[in-house]
Structure 1
Amino acid sequence: MKNLAREIVSRINEIARPVKIMHVCGSHEHTIMQHGVRSLLPEEVEVVAGPGCPVCCVPSREIDECLKLAEQGVTITTFGDMLRVPGSKGSLADARADGADVRIVYGVSNAVEIARKLDNEVVFMAAGFETTAPTTASEILSGPPENFSVLSCHRLIPPALRFLIESGEVNLNALIEPGHVSTIIGMKPYEPFSRDYGIPQVIAGFNPLDILMAVYMILRQINRGEARVENEYKRAVRPEGNLKAQEVMDEVFYITEREWRGFPTIPDSVYEIRDEFSQYNAREKFDIEVDEVVDTPSGCICGAVLRGVARPEDCTLFRDPCTPTNPVGACMVSREGTCNIAYRYSSL
């Protein structure tokens, strides 16, 4: 493996030119930092992290919605990473400490099990990109109990990429696309970025060789004057994606617009539950209203980190006081968050 890595790095150096490559996957950032991939690349080849952490992208408004429900006595179920993501006036962990019934689950099926056993309304806060949305949709189609509903916080990666490309804020030249998301959506949703904006793209797996190979494939495209979507992760990603998962999502969700943490409203970027299944839509069931939303704690630059225009080390709160055990911003909460990863693997 070492010899193969050396060979790929050698080829990268042979064809290197100034380029800014963005990836949008927490697992990719983890691999890059853990294995020192950036240190292996020529100085002119820059790899930046974008909005690849689904927990980090959930805005304060959606945390506030859950907090409202918790205040009303609703049982909230969600992934462990979500508990400490900040809302406008605290987190779900704070609400739990104050006596709210907030429970950690490993998935939506665990939340349904709780609802079947509990004589109380149960809401599952469904965070995640296209990777986890099919499981939420499948559970809704299976007919969960009447006291169960979902607060959909599912987001779509391609619309966020379009926003970043069109904003010009990052000035990115190429994209490493996420492997997990691509197993569901395939290659086609990325094609407009190459066709309309001349962006070379490579779908990549998660080990260091995958990342290095993706960088080489991007540079090869640039040197050939090409801009297309290539699939380095062929062992898991089919060009068409997972058609069954796509059908299930289309049946249960419609696509609408909503803000992301650190972003304004992004068109066509979130999944919401269709009217046919409104009895399982917590927003419809409880008519939740929140206002005076504060998206980012004072001094935190999580939004800029998510947009790829800043690194965690640029934040004055990084490491002191913001740490994984005392997170100030959302990017420090999850192990997929760029700040959390930088804290664990950077040399500062």
Structure 2
Amino acid sequence: MKYIEEFQNPQLAQRLLDDIHATVTRPWALMEVCGGQTHSIIRHGIDQLLPEHVELIHGPGCPVCVTPLEVIDKALEIASRPEVVFCSFGDMLRVPGTGRDLFRVKSEGGDVRVVYSPLDALRIAQQNPERQVVFFGIGFETTAPPNAMTVYQARRLGIRNFSLLVSHVRVPPAIEALMLSPDCRVQGFLAAGHVCSVMGTDEYPELAERFAVPIVVTGFEPLDILEGVRRTVRQLERGEHRVENAYPRAVRPEGNPAAKAMLEDVFEVTDRAWRGIGVIPDSGWRLSERYREYDAEHRFTVGGITTEEPAACRSGEVLQGLLKPHECEAFGTLCTPRNPLGATMVSNEGACAAYYLYRRLGGATAPKETSPVA
């Protein structure tokens, strides 16, 4: 509670806002990388409190949202098999595949279970040696270490009826891909603090230098985000492009050495497809050769599944920051949390879900009580 109260202090928020207003002299477009930051920004109305010259662009930092449709369809195929217990975090169950989701598979008799840790899935495998237990391993660098540890433990304990359906992605290659896009308007980044708490900041200086963009690592509370914006804007106004750590209570430059060692042992870097964006080179992980027997995609021979995104869903443009959610023709009509066209409308970190939940319908102002200075 200490950090929650301290980093939601309205008087301090106002001071940061005053400093930002006093600093800005021209238009700047900043991207927050993490979907958790997006929800905090929209919930607290931070984007509406900033100077009109400062635009916050919502990036592809929602792990559920960027999981490609073909991986969802692979999950649906595996979960439908009678010998399988399919385990997942709850936010994946309503993500639409081609024609159905994991809730539908469960209603049709599939053994789909919500777990709160990959180790829960490993325990289910221990308790059900006659079943194949699969855990849906998605996410960025933040969730990859516990998934790697679970596979490591399965191998160490000799548990052969456990496997991992892997869809892990990495942030730095995504930043590079965004900056190389001819449509990119981003001039500075708010980097995700939880990712950097694992990986550190070593991969960012080269990106900041090559693309001449400041990258400020920050957290998720209102003061974290405002401080990140303040530092980014100051750099831009001065013509600087450095990496700054505005989240020192959680992030060290070297990251978490033990977690990084586990990732290096269990995973290897590979190209990954991002939903609505396409394949980004070296942007993901897969299980390394010594752990390949625990790869569900190989175990169940679903590698050949291919799909096409629904034409009406413009989540790819939302994930690239080219479109605000309410600018999509399907937003709030054909696409709602109850009947989503894409993951950005149902994920707890999805930009479309944030706009729908906090009533950002065509630029309406946020309720007063959501402001960090209310």
Match of 2:342 in 1: 329
Give the letter aligned to residue 303 of structure 2.
E
| Correspondence 1:243-322 to 2 at 5 A | 243-295=257-309, 297-322=310-335
Match of 2:121 in 1: 111
Find the aligned partners of 2:282 and 2:264 in 1 and give their Cα distance: 14
Q: State TM-score, norm by structure 1.
A: 0.96
Say if 2:251 is the partner of 1:240. no
Deviation at 1:292, TM superposition (A): 4.3
Find the aligned partners of 1:111 and 1:219 in 2 and give their Cα distance: 44
Find the aligned partners of 1:100 and 1:170 in 2 and give their Cα distance: 43
Find the aligned partners of 1:170 and 1:107 in 2 and give their Cα distance: 37
Find the aligned partners of 2:111 and 2:125 in 1 and give their Cα distance: 13
Match of 1:41 in 2: 50
Are the structure 2 counterparts of residues 61 and 347 from structure 1 closer, same or farther at C-alpha, using a change threshold of 3 Å?
A: closer
Specify the SS of the correspondent of 2:347: coil
Q: Provide structure 1 residue ranges, at least 5 long, that are not aligned to the other structure.
A: none
Provide the alpha-carbon RMSD of the alignment: 1.3
Say if 2:136 is the partner of 1:136. no
Q: Deviations over 1:85-125 (max 9, x none)?
A: 12223222221121111111112111111111122111111
Find the aligned partners of 2:104 and 2:151 in 1 and give their Cα distance: 29
Match of 1:8 in 2: 16
Deviation at 1:46, TM superposition (A): 0.4
Say if 2:86 is the partner of 1:84. no
Say if 2:107 is the partner of 1:97. yes
Q: State TM-score, norm by structure 2.
A: 0.90
Find the aligned partners of 1:159 and 1:220 in 2 and give their Cα distance: 25
Stretch moving more, 162-171 or 268-277: 162-171
Stretch moving more, 6-15 or 196-205: 6-15
Task: Indicate conservation of the 8 Å contact 2:169/2:272, yes or no.
Answer: no
Task: Indicate conservation of the 8 Å contact 1:65/1:290, yes or no.
Answer: no
Task: Indicate conservation of the 8 Å contact 1:33/1:346, yes or no.
Answer: no
Question: Which of 206, 225, 229 does residue 243 from structure 2 map onto?
Answer: 229
Tell me the matched-pair count. Answer: 347
Task: Indicate conservation of the 8 Å contact 2:74/2:305, yes or no.
Answer: no
Find the aligned partners of 1:164 and 1:52 in 2 and give their Cα distance: 12
Deviation at 1:286, TM superposition (A): 2.1
Percent identity of equivalent pairs? 42
Q: Provide structure 2 residue ranges, at least 5 long, that are not aligned to the other structure.
A: 1-8, 362-374
Find the aligned partners of 2:345 and 2:27 in 1 and give their Cα distance: 30
Find the aligned partners of 1:303 and 1:223 in 2 and give their Cα distance: 31
Match of 1:66 in 2: 75
Find the aligned partners of 2:339 and 2:300 in 1 and give their Cα distance: 32
Find the aligned partners of 2:162 and 2:360 in 1 and give their Cα distance: 46
Find the aligned partners of 2:303 and 2:237 in 1 and give their Cα distance: 52
Find the aligned partners of 1:162 and 1:68 in 2 and give their Cα distance: 33
Are the structure 2 counterparts of residues 310 and 347 from structure 1 closer, same or farther at C-alpha, using a change threshold of 3 Å?
A: closer
Find the aligned partners of 1:281 and 1:289 in 2 and give their Cα distance: 11
Find the aligned partners of 1:171 and 1:322 in 2 and give their Cα distance: 27
Task: Indicate conservation of the 8 Å contact 2:170/2:283, yes or no.
Answer: yes
Give the letter aligned to residue 103 of structure 2.
A
Deviation at 1:222, TM superposition (A): 1.4
Give the letter aligned to residue 242 of structure 1.
N
Stretch moving more, 284-293 or 193-202: 284-293
Find the aligned partners of 2:340 and 2:117 in 1 and give their Cα distance: 24
Give the letter aligned to residue 240 of structure 1.
E
Match of 1:180 in 2: 194
Give the letter aligned to residue 226 of structure 1.
E
Task: Indicate conservation of the 8 Å contact 2:81/2:110, yes or no.
Answer: no
Find the aligned partners of 1:98 and 1:117 in 2 and give their Cα distance: 24
Q: Deviations over 1:227-252 (max 9, x none)?
A: 01001101110011111100000000
Specify the SS of the correspondent of 2:99: coil
Match of 1:123 in 2: 134
Find the aligned partners of 2:284 and 2:270 in 1 and give their Cα distance: 6
Stretch moving more, 10-19 or 281-290: 281-290
Q: Deviations over 1:292-322 (max 9, x none)?
A: 4023x33111111111111110112211232
Stretch moving more, 162-171 or 267-276: 162-171
